[in-house]
């Protein structure tokens, strides 16, 4: 049995302002019509079943993960929620424990561990490598996939392959792992051959990984076991015990296990791989024009060269610029020199210190039932806020009440079923209703098309935390 394990962390920093903390890059369609998360799951169609997957993610992203799993047939997948980031080794430990629990006592599944935010262009070649990796994993080896290096890259760690693994063509024992090198050292690796980029993808039996973790990081395994045993299951989610998981040392699979085991095997692959590590990576993935510009959206250039130009909402023009990244979103614009993108992390940190909302959310705030987008706000004698609310078919907001504000709803598309205290009624496009201060109310979309309405809030305080939930299908009450 092969179980895919999807590691879905991320802070939304390296591709800001497209990605944000509440919606990092793996949930965006950056290299096709599907998100990177969904592409990671779908590339294994025919090899393993998506409903057997184990996803380890931040609790803040749980509803996005559940929604995107549903869209690609992974409703039965286990979603484990990390209360705090502890790197990849503890995350894979709880995934292994979950896979063992789901498979039953007699089974010992092979895990295929993949980050959720990578691009692989040659999926048939990757599937072939996975089949070879599964064979080695069933024999007790701990497999990693090394990317065949085509340039002296300084942003990746390297794996040096040793002797060929007997009976497994294209597989080699790992001679050593190497830290990210400087450019001269990276070039020497390329010249010497046998060095491969560390992809962060792995295959091994659950028991073999846990045995090696016991041998080299026993405190980590004990913390992972306690976190999993005390996990609270609610709806589609497993909430790992916070105190237990926080007690785990923070470490990667490489440092915790792979560098110490004598069973490490590397399978070199050339599959059009990218970790989409920043804007330059997206430039390399895109289709460039005759002047090496990559453009998305409504973009017009004159004399521009070597630039990445991305527009989401309006006409973007560029004249005579060279080697720039320009990103336009609904609420932020980034302009950066391509050779200075290392400063983006510091820029986002500065914005975070200023409590800028743009670091966390897009203007459209995603919710499990749909989304809302602020349209206007003001403060006179009484404050006001205007939102556009979109509710997905069949979905419902919680039964709730506000202490500080009243609301007025105007339906512009679709049909709304409204609960206001003891009254339940239906509104169609062009109809409106008033929700008084303190009234228990709920909004539901009973139709087959999205419900769109405009909400006007009025009150002394309009924060999102002025909400008391009485009933909620998403477990937030």
- pLDDT of 381 reads 63
pLDDT tens digits, residue range 67-77?
999 998 888 89
Helix (H, G, I), strand (E, B) or coil at 141: coil
Q: What is the pLDDT of residue 286?
A: 94
Q: What pLDDT is recorded for position 187? A: 97
Residues 40 and 116 sit within 8 Å (Cβ to Cβ): yes
394 in the Ramachandran plot: left (φ > 0), alpha (ψ -120 to 50) or beta?
Answer: left
The Cβ of residue 302 has, within 10 Å, a number of other Cβ atoms equal to 9
Residue pair 440/355 in contact by the 8 Å Cβ criterion: no
Query: 158, 164 in Cβ contact below 8 A?
Result: no
Cα–Cα separations (whole angstroms), residue 460 to 211, 379, 381, 463, 465: 58, 9, 9, 10, 13
pLDDT in tens, 118-175: 999 999 999 999 999 999 999 999 999 999 999 999 999 999 999 999 888 899 999 9
Average pLDDT (22-47) is 93
Distance (Å, rounded) from C-alpha 65 to C-alpha 27? Answer: 8
Three-state secondary-structure class, residue 422: coil
129-135: long-range contacts at Cβ-Cβ below 8 A with a sequence spacing of 24 or more? 129/170, 129/267, 129/269, 129/271, 130/2, 130/44, 130/47, 130/203, 131/47, 132/168, 132/169, 132/170, 132/171, 132/267, 133/171, 133/203, 133/267, 134/2, 134/110, 134/203, 135/168
- pLDDT of 48 reads 86
pLDDT digits (tens, 9 = 90+) for 79-133: 999 999 999 999 999 999 999 999 887 799 999 999 999 999 999 999 999 999 9
pLDDT digits (tens, 9 = 90+) for 219-264: 999 999 999 999 999 888 999 999 999 999 999 999 999 999 999 9
Residues 6+ apart with CB under 8 A from 350: none
State yes or no: cis peptide before 29, omega within 30 of 0. no
pLDDT score recorded for residue 126: 96
Q: What integer best gives the mean pLDDT of the chain? A: 95
Give percent of the chain above pLDDT 70.
99
* Domains, the chain, with CATH or none: 2-274 (3.90.550.10), 281-349 (no CATH), 365-471 (2.60.120.10)
Categorize the per-residue pLDDT at 44 as very low, low, confident or very high, splitting at 50, 70 and 90.
confident
Mean pLDDT for 12-38 is 95
From the number of C-beta atoms within 10 Å of its C-beta (0-12, 13-18, 19+), residue 243 rates as exposed
d(CA 80, CA 241): 11
Tell me, what's the pLDDT at 380? 61
Positive/negative CA dihedral, 274, 37, 180, 160: negative
**Residues 3, 96: Cα–Cα separation, whole Å:** 9
Distances (CA, A) of 40 to 49, 51, 297, 364: 13, 14, 25, 25
Q: What is the pLDDT of residue 32?
A: 87
Containing 68, the helix (H) or strand (E) segment is: helix 62-71
Six token digits for residue 149: 């290096």
Region 42-46: mean pLDDT is 88
> Side-chain half-sphere of 443: how many Cα atoms within 13 Å?
30
Of 202, 175, 180, residue with least CA distance to 88: 202
């Amino acid at each position: 049995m092969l179980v895919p394990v999807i590691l879905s962390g991320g802070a939304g920093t390296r591709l800001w302002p497209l990605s944000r903390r509440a919606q990092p890059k793996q949930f965006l369609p950056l290299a096709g019509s599907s998100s990177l998360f969904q592409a990671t799951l779908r590339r294994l169609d025919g090899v393993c079943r998506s409903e057997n997957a184990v996803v380890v993610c931040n609790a803040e992203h749980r509803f996005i993960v559940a929604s995107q799993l549903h869209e690609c047939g992974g409703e039965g997948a286990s979603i484990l929620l990390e209360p705090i980031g502890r790197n990849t080794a503890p995350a894979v430990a709880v995934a292994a424990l979950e896979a063992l629990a789901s498979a039953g006592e007699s089974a010992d599944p092979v895990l295929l561990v993949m980050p959720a935010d990578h691009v692989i262009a040659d999926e048939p070649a990757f599937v072939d490598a996975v089949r070879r990796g599964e064979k080695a994993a069933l024999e007790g080896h701990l497999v990693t996939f090394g990317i065949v290096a085509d340039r002296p890259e300084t942003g990746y760690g390297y794996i040096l392959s040793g002797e060929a693994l007997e009976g497994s063509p294209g597989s080699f024992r790992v001679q050593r792992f190497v830290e990210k090198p400087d450019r001269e050292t990276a070039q020497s690796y390329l010249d010497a051959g046998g060095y491969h980029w560390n992809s962060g993808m792995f295959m091994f039996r659950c028991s073999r990984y846990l045995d090696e973790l016991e041998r080299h990081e026993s405190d980590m395994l004990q913390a992972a076991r306690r976190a999993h045993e005390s996990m609270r299951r609610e709806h589609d989610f497993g909430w790992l015990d916070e105190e237990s998981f926080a007690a785990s040392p923070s470490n990667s699979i490489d440092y915790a296990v792979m560098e110490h085991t004598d069973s490490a095997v590397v399978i070199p692959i050339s599959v059009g791989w990218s970790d989409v590590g920043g804007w330059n990576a997206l430039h390399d993935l895109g289709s460039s024009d005759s002047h090496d510009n990559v453009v998305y959206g409504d973009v017009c250039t004159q004399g521009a060269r070597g630039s990445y130009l991305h527009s989401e909402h309006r006409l973007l023009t560029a004249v005579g610029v060279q080697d720039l990244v320009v990103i336009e979103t609904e609420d932020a614009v980034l302009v950066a020199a391509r050779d200075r993108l290392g400063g983006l992390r510091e820029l986002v940190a500065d914005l975070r210190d200023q409590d800028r909302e743009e670091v966390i959310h897009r203007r459209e705030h995603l919710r499990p039932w749909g989304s809302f987008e602020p349209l206007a706000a003001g403060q006179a004698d009484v404050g006001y806020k205007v939102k556009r609310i979109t509710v997905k078919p069949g979905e419902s907001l919680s039964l709730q009440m506000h202490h500080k504000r009243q609301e007025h709803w105007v339906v512009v598309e679709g049909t709304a079923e409204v609960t206001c205290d003891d009254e339940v009624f239906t509104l169609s496009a062009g109809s409106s209703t008033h929700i008084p201060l303190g009234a228990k109310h709920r909004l539901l979309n009973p139709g087959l098309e999205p419900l769109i309405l405009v909400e006007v809030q009025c009150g002394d305080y309009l924060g999102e935390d002025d909400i008391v939930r009485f009933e909620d299908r998403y477990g937030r009450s």
